[in-house]
Chain A
C-alpha cells in the first residue's frame, strides 16, 4: 500500500467513526440528568427527603417545557448520611449514569467529601442544604456552588437580631461536627463583637440522646440565651428535654436553624424559641405564596427550609442552563457566576469570587397560629443579602 492510500483510508475510517459516534451524541442530547446522592434513610433522612420533595415538585412544574427543550431526569441514591457512602454513590451517578450536576447532599460532612472530588470528575456540585462555612472558604473550588444560606450566614442573621436585644449572656451548644462547630465559632465571634458575653460552650456528639448533663451545665452558666446548632433529631430531643427540665423558661433557646420538622415533632414546647431560618415558608412574597400553594397541593404539607432552598436551587440551575444554551459544565459555571435570580424570599446573586449566593437572612420566632396544624416560623426581622453574607472566601463579616 502506498503511503497516500493509507492516509486516505485512515481519513475515511476516522470520518466513519465520527459518523458512528453521531447518533450516540444525539442520544446524549436526551434528558438533562441531575444526580441526588441524598440521605433518604437514617437519622438525617428528613433533609434528603426534603430535597426529594422539592425535586418532585420541580419535575412536575418543568415537565411541560423542560430545560432547553430537553426533559429533566432526577436520579436518587440513598447515602444514609454517611460521607464515605455519599462519595461512592456520587461516583456511581457520575460514572455510570453520566450526570453532570450533583445536588441534594444533606450533611456538611458528606458535602465536604463529595465536593472535594468534583474538580476531578468535572461535575457541578450545587449545595442547597449544606451549612459548613468551609465549603465556600477553605475548601472552595470553581465546581462548587452554594444556593442556600450557610451556617455562618445564619449565625450572622441571628447575631444581628440579638445585638439589638437586652440579652447579654449566651451559651453556645454545637453538634460535634463541621457544621455545629463552624456555627458555634461564628456565633461566638459575632456576639463578642457586639460586646456581649459567651459564658460557656460545649459540643455534644452527633446522635446524643440524653442532654441532661448539658442542660445542667447551661443552667449553671446563668446564661440568658443558649445558641443551638444541632441537626434534626438532636434538636428535637434537646428541645423536649430542656422543656421538661424547665430550662426554656429561664434560658431562651436560639437555634441556628429553626425548622418546621422540629416544630412538628416538639409541638408547643417549641413555642417561643427564636433563631434564623434559611427559608421560612411564611415569607410574604407573591412568588412564595404561589410556591407554598403548589407545594401543599402536591405533598399535603407546608414546605420546610430545604424544600424551599432546594426548589430555588433547581429553578436557578434551570435558568442558568437555559442562559448558557448548553448543559456543558464549564459553560454553565461561566453563565452562573455573577448571575441574578428572583428567589422565593427575594433577590439572589451568585458571587463570582466564592460561589456563595447572596440572599436575604431571617430572624424568626416559633409561634402558634390557629390557621396551621403545627407551630410556624414568624419573621421577626429580615436582613438584606449584603449584611448577612461573609467577606469573599472567608467566614468573617466586616
Chain B
C-alpha cells in the first residue's frame, strides 16, 4: 500500500513537470499550427537560467518568478524574428526551423555553461523528506505536485474565463475569422508563443533541483511531451492534463 502511494506521488510529481512543458507545446500547436521542436530547449534554458539566478542571489524563489518571463521574452523574440515569416509555408519548413533553433540554443548553452550538469538546491523549506503515514517522501516533489495543479487550474481559468482567453480560443478555432472580427492575430501568436515558452521555462526552473540542469534535458522532455500532447489531443490543454497521467 505504501508502495502504491509512493509510486502515485512519483507519477504526479513528474506529471506536474511534464504538464508545464506539454501545455505550452499544445497551445503553440493549437494557435500557431506549428510543431515546435525547440520547445524542450526552452525548458532546458529555464533550468540553466534558474541555476544562474540561484547562484547569483542565493535564493530559489526569485528564480521561480524571474526566469519564466525572461524565457518567455526570448521565445517571443524568436517567434517575431523567425517563425512569423513561414506560417504560410508547408509544415516541413517549420520543422526545419524549430529544429535548427533547438540546436543553436542547445549549443549556445553548452558554450556558455560547459558540458557538466549544474546542481540547484531546493529552498531550505522544501529540503529533505516528510513522513506520510510510513512513507518518507521528498518535500520538493510534493511541491511539484502542487505547482503543476496550480498552474493547470490557472491556465484553464485564464483560457475559459477571461477575454484574452476568449480571443486565444477564437484564433485557435479559426484564425482568419478571428482576424476579420478584429483580433490582432499576429500579436496573439507572438504572445502565445512567449507564454508557452515561459511555461516551459517555469518547468525547467522547477525541474532543476530534482534532476539538475544538464545538456540534452530538452530533447529528453520533448519526446515525453509529444506523447502527452498526442494522447491528450493536439491543441487541447485539458487533454494534455489528462494525457500526462498515463
6 contacts between A and B (CB under 8 A): A209-B220, A210-B14, A219-B136, A244-B129, A244-B139, A267-B119
Known contacts A209-B211, A212-B10, A246-B136; is A266 also within 8 Å of B119 by CB? Answer: yes
B212 in complex: contacting residue of A40, A216, A246, A265, CB < 8 Å: A265
Interface size class of B (residues with CB under 8 A): 20 to 34
Whether B138 pairs with A244 at a CB distance below 8 angstroms is yes
**Assembled-state Cα–Cα distance A220/B6 (Å):** 12
B165-212 with Cβ < 8 A to chain A: 209-212
Looking at the complex, which of B20-28, B63-71, B109-117, B232-240 is the stretch in contact with chain A? B109-117
A46 within 8 A of partner (CB): yes
B216 within 8 A of partner (CB): yes
A244 in complex: contacting residue of B110, B210, B215, CB < 8 Å: B210
A240 within 8 A of partner (CB): yes
A243-267 with Cβ < 8 A to chain B: 244-246, 261, 264-267
For B3, the closest partner residue in chain A by CB is A216
Pick the 10 closest A-B CB pairs, nearest first. Answer: A45-B115, A246-B129, A244-B138, A212-B10, A265-B119, A233-B117, A46-B116, A236-B117, A265-B117, A246-B136
Using a CB–CB cutoff of 8 Å, the interface residues on chain A facing chain B are 40-43, 45-46, 49, 207, 209-210, 212-213, 216, 219-220, 232-233, 236-237, 240-241, 244-246, 261, 264-267
Task: Write out the residue numbers on chain B whose beta carbons fall within 8 Å of the beta carbon of A46.
Answer: 115-116
For A220, the closest partner residue in chain B by CB is B3
Whether A213 pairs with B7 at a CB distance below 8 angstroms is yes
Give the A-B pair count, Cβ closer than 8 A: 85
Task: Write out the residue numbers on chain A whose beta carbons fall within 8 Å of the beta carbon of B19.
Answer: none
B29 within 8 A of partner (CB): no
Task: Write out the residue numbers on chain B whose beta carbons fall within 8 Å of the beta carbon of A220.
Answer: 3
Shortest beta-carbon distance from A212 to chain B in Å:
4
For B14, the closest partner residue in chain A by CB is A210
**Assembled-state Cα–Cα distance A42/B217 (Å):** 11
B121 within 8 A of partner (CB): yes
B6 in complex: contacting residue of A209, A210, A216, CB < 8 Å: A216
A210 in complex: contacting residue of B3, B10, B128, CB < 8 Å: B10
For A270, the closest partner residue in chain B by CB is B119
